[in-house]
Amino acid sequence: MRSLPRFVTALAVLASLLFGCSGSDESNQTPTADLDVIVVGKQVSSSPHITLVSFNAQWLSSMELLTYTIAPKPGGVASPIEVQWHLNALKARGHFDASNLLLTIPVFGLYANHSNVVHFQAKSTSGEIRRWSMEIKTPPIETNKIYEGINILKPHSAVTPLGFEFFAVKSGIGTPYIFDLDGQVRWGAAGPGSMAAIWSDSGFLVGDNGSREIRRLELDGSTSRTALIGAGYRNFHHNMDKGKRGFLGHVDTDIDGVVNLESTIIEFDSAGNVLKSWDFAAILANHLKQHGEDPQAFVRPGIDWFHSNAATYNPQEDSLIVSSRENFVISVDYETGAIRWIFGDPTKHWASFASLRAKALQLQSGGLYPIGQHSVSMTPQGQLMLFNNGANSLNQAAGAPAGTSRAYSAVTTYKIDLADMTARETWRFDDQQSTLSSYCSSAYSLPDESVLVNFAIANGNNRVRIVGLTPNHQIAFDFELKGTSGCSESWNAIPVPFGKLRFE
- Residue 40: per-residue pLDDT: 58
- Residue 44: per-residue pLDDT: 54
Q: How many residues make up the chain in this entry? A: 504
Segment 351-379 mean pLDDT: 98
Backbone angles phi, psi at 154, to 5 degrees: -145, 115
- For all residues of the chain together, what is the average pLDDT? 90
Compute the Cα dihedral for 104, 107, 108, 113 and give only its sign. negative
Across the beta sheet with 339-343, the strand order is 308-314, 319-324, 328-333, 339-343
> Is the pLDDT confidence value at 351 over 60?
yes
The confidence band for 424, taking pLDDT boundaries of 50, 70 and 90, is very high
- Tens-place pLDDT, residues 210-239: 999 999 999 999 999 999 999 999 999 999
CATH class assigned to 145-503: mainly beta
Determine whether domain 11-137 maps to CATH 2.60.40.3100.
Answer: yes
- How far is residue 265's CA from residue 284's CA, in Å, rounded to a whole number? 14
Q: Which of these ranges, 143-157, 306-320, 432-446, 467-481, has the smallest mean pLDDT?
A: 143-157
The partner residues of 480 in beta bridges, in order of sequence, read 151, 465
Q: Give the number of C-alpha atoms closer than 13 A to the C-alpha of residue 18, restricted to the C-beta side.
A: 7
- How far is residue 124's CA from residue 126's CA, in Å, rounded to a whole number? 5
With residues binned 3-state (H G I as helix, E B as strand, rest as coil), the percentages for the chain, rounded to 5, are 10, 45, 45
> Is the pLDDT confidence value at 329 over 90?
yes
The confidence band for 205, taking pLDDT boundaries of 50, 70 and 90, is very high
Name, in order, each residue with C-beta under 8 angstroms of 357's C-beta and a sequence gap of 6 or more: 346, 351
- Residue 57: per-residue pLDDT: 85
Backbone region of residue 225 per phi and psi (left: phi > 0; alpha: psi in -120 to 50; beta: other values): beta
- Tens-place pLDDT, residues 256-266: 888 999 999 99
Q: Which of these ranges, 54-63, 241-250, 403-412, has the smallest mean pLDDT?
A: 54-63
- How far is residue 321's CA from residue 331's CA, in Å, rounded to a whole number? 4
> In the chain, where are the structural domains located?
11-137, 145-503
CB-CB contact of 177 with 498 (8 Å): no
- How far is residue 276's CA from residue 311's CA, in Å, rounded to a whole number? 14
> Is the pLDDT confidence value at 423 over 90?
yes
- How far is residue 25's CA from residue 372's CA, in Å, rounded to a whole number? 55
CB-CB contact of 444 with 466 (8 Å): no
CB-CB contact of 108 with 444 (8 Å): no
Distances from the Cα of 352 to the Cαs of 130, 284, 293, in angstroms?
72, 14, 11
- How far is residue 209's CA from residue 196's CA, in Å, rounded to a whole number? 8
- How far is residue 490's CA from residue 23's CA, in Å, rounded to a whole number? 43
Other beta carbons within 10 Å of 458: 24
Q: Three-class SS string for 86-98? A: EHHHHHHCCCEEC
> Is the pLDDT confidence value at 291 over 50?
yes
- Give the rounded percent of residues in the chain with a pLDDT score beyond 90: 79
